Structure 1
Amino acid sequence: MPLDTGRIADLEVEPVNGGDPGLVDSYAPTLHSGADIGEALRTVREFRGLSLEELAERTRVRRSYLSAIEEMRLEQLPSRPFTIGYIRSYAQALGLDPEEAVYRFKADEPVLDEPLRAPVGVQEDRDPRLSALIAGGCVIVAAIFMWNIAQRAMIDAAPPPPLAPEKAVIEALTAQRDGPVTLGAPLPAPVESTTPPLYETPGLAKAGEDGMGNLAPPAILGVTSADAPPPDTSQLAPVFKPDGRIYGAPVGQPSFVTLKALKSGALIIRGADGSVYFARQLDKGEAYRIPAINGLMVDVSEPQAFQVFAGGQSRGFLPAALSSASKLGG
């Protein structure tokens, strides 16, 4: 509800029971009467013989708000700025100083979160170390700035680098010759760049190779190398007869050859890229059917521990520890 903040004429107070007006003024309550500003305003209103309805009509403030002000029920009033405006209008309607009424209200109900004013005449004490740190920082910054300026000035003032005499320059240009350049003999390679000797795998020659990556002479159907004793072929069966579990390509799938273990030995089947297709320690009588895949290599621990069968017919022992699967059935 808008407030009428215009000037309200002071109320004329009639003497009580025809008494002396001066005596009435001397006993009239003021804004400092009572325990708080609400009680002081109510005391002055009752002394003037005014009701809350009359005062509400004059101030254009709700009667409930005026009653709440007198009883200091601030939780029933609007925000603090509106409450201060109501108190100012209430005091002005009673012919009192509105600013003094507001001052009394703020003294009775201060706002705790309002910053306090610094006391007048009290010197503010500061930590002297803070001033020293600030001064030291300023000195350091100024010193760096002046050092950069001095360095730039020294560079600008430095003399130019010395030049070679003109005679020496002419002689150097005259000494230049056109034509092929003769190079000296090549220098030997550094020690760390020399090629290391070939690495020989321990036991590789004993397993069927000569140690240089070349296969040893084949030993198929009793043909052996000149310096090796002929293998015992009495244990070779003429046709394939399973005596144990058969691994590899299932029955009905194309197969190059079948390898049968005459005694326990390690068998590894590798692809052309070195990938392992099969690796197992075969017991005596177990066999492996090599799939019809080009590029397969047979790697065994002992060539004479495995018999080769092609089309069910014996082809003798494995020729070497490392053999091509496609050549075993040829």
Structure 2
Amino acid sequence: MPLDTGGVTGLHLQMDGDRDANRHESLTPTLDTGPDVGAALKAAREFRGLNLQDLADTTRIRRSYLAAIEEMRLDELPSRPFTVGYVRAYANALGLDGEAAVDRFRREEPLTDNALRAPIGVSETKDPRLTLIVGAGMLVLAAIILWNIAQRAMSQDAPPPHRAPESAMAGAKLGAAAGPVSLGAPLPAPVESTTPIPYETPGLAEATAAGGSSDAVIAARKASAANPTAPEAAIPARPLPPTFTPKGAVYGAQPGTSTVTVQALKGASLIVRGGGGVVYFARQLAAGEAYRVPNLAGLTIDTTDATAFQVFVDGQSKGLLPSPTISPSKLTGG
């Protein structure tokens, strides 16, 4: 009678299937696989046939950050709270326990007292100009302090200021009696060389001589044009005084220092010049005003109308000026 082996055969097949399942489960990577949590996550990713870009699209985490987690290059990752969140999201995306992955990460990378690092890609740079400004300010402040210290040291080492004797200071007080002060001789009066020549209105002298009548002036001009040889007697002839009698202001030198005196018979300008064209006197003299000529060599008398001035030498009349321009020495016969 043949041996019934169906049950044994089925049992053998069932046992072989269980052995294969256990072998498959033993080959599946877990969070305890590898030397660190990064290697465990990488093994789980490769076992599932995923690449970093697939996980980056799923977790919205940069691919470079995922690669840094797998290699445990923590210096390329942001601060620790961000890194912990990335590890949890990475494990959850692979269907693993995110909290268990975080616990292993914390055991392998314990928290230190170091300050949180800035996110990757953000570099903290300082403006070099600020350093230069601060340095310059410190140098200026140090120079001011040193200068004040040096000034104090110099003031302490300097001798006391010299003081005059008390007797001299008492004599110099305000209100102290002072000795007589001698004054020099008074300076001579400035020469009237800056006085401009007064402007004389054309025809004004003729109109004044004619009593202010313009018709008389026109008639005199017509008569003069008709008889050119006739003298221009704008002023009726009258006897001249034999001696000098002041009839107005007298300009020029003092009475004892002058020989020649000219006196205006009517309004006219008088200019007295010296050597080199220096003007000693220039003025419009009214009738009766006079000028005493200084006894200086090289003077010249210049006037616009010679008949408007009478000449006196040592107070005696010498008649009218011979010419509009003449030297005083000729009037005295010198």
Query: TM-score, normalised on structure 1?
Result: 0.30
Larger radius of gyration: 2
Query: TM-score, normalised on structure 2?
Result: 0.29
**Between structures 1 and 2, the one with greater helix share:** 2
